[in-house]
Amino acid sequence: MAGPEIILVFASNTLILNAEDLLEERGLPFTLVPVPKEVNPNCGLAISFVESDHDLILPVLEAAGLRPAMAYRRHGDDFSSWPLSH
Amino acid sequence: MIYFDNGATSFPKPPQVASAVMAALAAPASPGRSGHAAAMSAGRTVHRARKAMARLFGIKDNSRLCFGPNVTWALNAALFGLNLQKGDHVLSGTLEHNSTARPLDRLRRERGVDWEAVPSRGGRMLAEDFKSRLRPETRLIVLNHASNVTGALAPAREIKEAAGGVPLLLDAAQTAGSVPLDDAGDWVDLLAFTGHKGLLGPTGTGGLYVSPEIELLPFSVGGSGSRSESLEHPGFLPDALEAGTANTHGLAGLAAGVEYLLERGVPAVREHELGLAGLFLEKIGGVPGVSVQGPKLGEEDRVAAVSLNLAGWSSSDLAAALEREHGILVRPGLHCAPLTHRELGTFPGGSARFSFGPFNTADEIAAGARALASLAAGGGR
């Protein structure tokens, strides 16, 4: 993935799969990845996308009421919290 | 074999149900428990079932649709999850199955919940009879949408409208997949269903829809694949009610069954099944000694279960003779619904229930009626 990556973690697996359906339906660029254990102990999946695409992805999720529980920015091996109010 | 026991478990299933179960069995992994491709695929399998169910019931937020092993689980999850306490008043019908009556009886004995079963009028539940019994402390109305004994359909929406805001827990065991419920998400507060009857899925599948106004305490907690860092079980749905690994294999089949129904159309299934029930009642109309329990020929507020007794026969002997002499499978006895049989005056011997499904044919109905006439005329003894 080119550039910093944003990882959205949702409370439940159901929400993540609803998010996957929605983003796929809209043809938006994202991948489904395991939740990085470095930052979050959840067993499930997360939505990952290039940071520069955040203004494509976040409004679509927001409009559908699919609000991530947490968001992280990954740059190489470095993770940091990422504010959702972009 | 002629199978008239769809009220217990539907048979046959659409062929794609078995294919979907086999495909799920042939794949590894647990849904929501890992991030690898096989786990993702299993998660999507469960999600497919969730989406199909949400479409069937007109539910906007599919995360409020929780899967469990059957409708009994769903009714228990609702009745015990509401945290009913001493003095709380609960109304139900009298045509309830033991899956509702036993949890309510336990709540009455152990917690002092005031459970009142509204009597039927000739086997019919009426909205006015619920309305007149409402009290300030009424916390819930539980309703069997259709009697699993007689097939009588309850006026669920009317009862909800008469309830003055009291939540409705609808037991859709006999109606999901057989009666259109595509707007249920708009008016039902708690909807309990099972996968192996009208939804044409495998046994071991079922679930509960919980409307946004209702909060339930989970009565079973454990692994959820979410909030793993905490000893406290998550409070959000569906995880709150889905402790432990889901029945992915069964839910794969349920998704296929419901997708079949969505394609064929529940109204078309209903028309077919009502047609079969009507034809059966018409054909047995002249058979001497037959008494039909519940809705009669021409009454369409019913599902396709017809209970009857034959003079001189116990229900179990009648069912055994139908199988032995004619290869016809029906269900005798009390159908786990003693309250209903007491109401009908058929307790404790019960009745023989013929319950038809989407794949029964008019020829099978004719064969069933002929078999009954033959036994009534003295055959099979």
Instruction: Give the CATH number for residue A59.
Output: 3.30.70
| Nearest residue of A to residue B49, measured between CA atoms | A14
Q: Pick from B227, B259, B229, B262: which is nearest to B243 by CA?
A: B227
The pLDDT of residue B15: 98
Closest CA to B32 of B196, B243, B214, B174: B243
Interface of B with A in 50-89 (CB under 8 A): 50-51, 61-63
Residues belonging to chain B? 381
Residue in B228, B304, B314, B238 with CA at minimum distance from that of residue B269? B304
Q: Which residue of B has its CA nearest to A12?
A: B226
A45 to chain B: closest CA residue = B35
pLDDT of residue A53: 95
Select the more confidently predicted residue: B34 or B201. B201
Averaged pLDDT for residues B86-101: 96
Q: Can you tell me the mean pLDDT for B268-272?
A: 98
Q: Answer yes or no: is pLDDT of A2 > 80.
A: no
- DSSP conformation class of B143: E
pLDDT band at B37 (very low <50, low <70, confident <90, very high): confident
Using CA atoms, how far residue B11 sits from B2, B49, B240, B329, in Å, is 10, 20, 32, 11
Q: Is the pLDDT of residue B330 over 80?
A: yes
Cβ contact A11–B35 (<8 Å): no
Q: Which of A56, A48, A69 is nearest to A1 (CA)?
A: A48
Contact check, Cβ <8 Å, B225/A45: no
Q: Are B78 and B216 in contact (CB under 8 A)?
A: yes
- pLDDT value at B203 more than 90: yes
Q: At a CB cut-off of 8 Å and minimum separation 6, what does B229 contact?
A: A41
Tally the domains of chain A. Answer: 1
| Contact between residue B204 and residue B247 where contact means Cβ atoms under 8 Å apart | yes
Token readout for B285 is 């109309």
Q: What is the mean pLDDT of residues B219-243?
A: 89
Counting runs of H as helices and runs of E as strands, what totals does chain A give?
A: 2, 5
Do the chains contact at B236 and A11, CB–CB below 8 Å?
yes
Rounded to whole angstroms, the Cα distance separating A32 from A17 reads: 9
User: Does A13 contact B227 at a Cβ distance shorter than 8 Å?
Assistant: no
In this prediction the ipTM stands at 0.84
Tell me whether residue A22 is in a domain: yes
Element (H, E) at B91: strand B89-93
Question: A11–B227: do the CB atoms touch at under 8 Å?
Answer: yes
Least confident of A35-44, B120-129, B167-176, B303-312: A35-44
Looking only at the bridges linking them, the beta strands covering B114-118 and B89-93 are parallel
The model's pLDDT over B139-162, given as tens digits with 9 standing for 90+, comes to 999 999 999 999 999 999 999 999
- What range defines the domain where residue A33 resides? 5-81
For B238, the closest of A14, A35, A41 (CB atoms) is: A14
Q: Which chain B residues have a beta carbon less than 8 Å from that of A14?
A: 47, 50, 62-63, 238-239
Rounded Cα gap, residues B187 and B305, in angstroms: 26
Whether residue A36 lies inside any domain: the answer is yes
pLDDT, averaged across chain B: 95
Residue for token pair 């990882």: A7
Partner residue facing B43 (CB), from A11, A17, A42 = A17
Q: Which of A12-16, A67-71, B264-268, B338-342 has the highest mean pLDDT?
A: B264-268
Q: What is the model's pLDDT at position A40?
A: 74
Counted across chains A and B, CB pairs separated by less than 8 A come out at 64
Percent of chain B residues topping a pLDDT of 90:
89
- Spatial distance between the Cα atoms of B16 and B35, rounded to a whole number of angstroms: 28
Average pLDDT over residues A14-24: 95
Which ranges of chain A does DSSP label H, i.e. alpha helix? 13-25, 54-63
Residue A37: predicted pLDDT: 80
Determine, yes or no, domain membership for A39. Answer: yes
Q: Are B367 and B326 in contact (CB under 8 A)?
A: yes
Say yes or no to pLDDT of B254 above 90.
yes
Dist. CA A19–CA A49, nearest whole Å: 13
Name the packing angle between helices A13-25 and A54-63 (round to 10°).
120
Q: Among A18, A41, A44, whose Cβ lies nearest the Cβ of B229?
A: A41
Q: SS3 sequence, B258-306? A: HHHHHHHCHHHHHHHHHHHHHHHHHHHCCCCCEEEECCCCCCCCECCEE
* Cα angle value A25/A31/A35 (rounded, 5°): 125
- Asked if B40 and A33 come within 8 Å (Cβ–Cβ), the reply is no
- Residues A59 and A31: beta-carbon distance below 8 Å: no
| Band of pLDDT at residue B379, cut at 50, 70 and 90 | low
Q: With CB atoms and an 8 Å threshold, state whether A11 touches B228.
A: no
Q: Which residues of A touch B (CB under 8 A)?
A: 11-15, 17-18, 21, 32-35, 41-45, 65
State the pLDDT at residue B45.
94
**What integer pLDDT is reported at residue A1 of this predicted model?**
54
Both tokens of residue B197?
A: 């009857």
CB within 8 Å: B63 and A14: yes
Domains of chain B: 2-9+266-376 (3.90.1150.10), 15-264 (3.40.640.10)
What is the identity of the amino acid at B332? P
Q: What is the pTM of this model?
A: 0.94
- Comparing C-alpha atoms, which of B361, B367, B364, B337 is closest to residue B151? B337
Nearest CA distance, A76 vs chain B (angstrom): 20
Whether B209 shows a pLDDT value over 80: the answer reads yes
Kindly state the percentage of chain B with pLDDT values over 70: 99
- pLDDT value for B182: 98
Contact residues on chain A for B222, CB-CB shorter than 8 A:
none
Please judge whether B234 and A11 are an interchain contact, meaning their C-beta atoms are less than 8 angstroms apart.
yes
Chain B residues whose CB is inside 8 A of the A34 CB are: 34-36
